[in-house]
Structure formats: C-alpha cells, structure tokens
Amino acid sequence: MPRRSRANPIRQLLDLGVAVPQVVGQRLLRMAAAGASPGVRDRRELAAMVLEKQTASVQSWMAMWLESARLQQQWAWTWWQGGAMPVLSLAGAGRAWEQILGRGLAPIRHKAMANARRLSRQAQRSR
C-alpha cells in the first residue's frame, strides 16, 4: 500500500485558515502603500495574483476529477473481480469523498502556503 504523503482535508483547511488571512493582509497592505499608481513590482504581483488563482482552480478541479475517476475504476475492478455488486458502506463512501476533497485542496493549499512564506519574507526585508 502506498504511503500517504498528502495531508488530510481537515489539516489542509486549517492550514488555509492560517495562510489565507496572512496573504490577504500582506497584499492589501501592499496595494494601500502603492496607492493609485502602483509600480512595476506591484503590477506584476497583482497580475500574478489573478493568474495563480486561475491555475490553482484548474489544478484543483483536475485533481478531483482524476481522483474520482481512479476511485470509480477501483470500484469497477472490484465489481468485475467479485462478480457481484460490492456494497458501498457509508464509511467507505466518506473516505472516498475525503480523498477527492484532499486532492482538490492540495494545489490551493500549496499555493497559499507558498505565498504566505514569500510575502512574509518580503515584508521582513522591507522593514
């Protein structure tokens, strides 16, 4: 059985709950400091902000789709080998949804955590 390297969805949501306010706060401070005429670095950061959200969203949906397809193949293979329809327990269905959610949260969490680290380093350097 492969080792699970990804954090569970609860942990990922907790990480997002910490990282997202940090990122939003740093970016709002940066926008407020730039004022009506942002510089080149500020415009680059704003453009990257939009692009990273689009990219993470697509990666998230793709990961959830692939995980659900993998689980469906696993279910079909079990059904094919057993010759009878396997009974899907509530616990098994819950674990399947948890796996799908975990795969979908991973790209978003990864980007939010990376942004929190990067922006906090930039804020420390500018002080």
pLDDT in tens, 53-84: 999 999 999 999 999 999 888 888 877 777 55
Q: What's the pTM?
A: 0.78
Give the 3-state secondary structure of the chain: CCCCCCCCHHHHHHHHHHHHHHHHHHHHHHHHHHCCCCCHHHHHHHHHHHHHHHHHHHHHHHHHHHHHHHHHHHHHHHHHHHCCCCCCCHHHHHHHHHHHHHHHHHHHHHHHHHHHHHHHHHHHHHC
Q: Which has more confidence, 76 or 11? A: 11
pLDDT in tens, 106-124: 999 999 999 999 999 987 8
Q: Would you place residue 3 in the very low, low, confident or very high pLDDT band (cuts 50, 70, 90)?
A: very low
Q: Which has more confidence, 91 or 28? A: 28
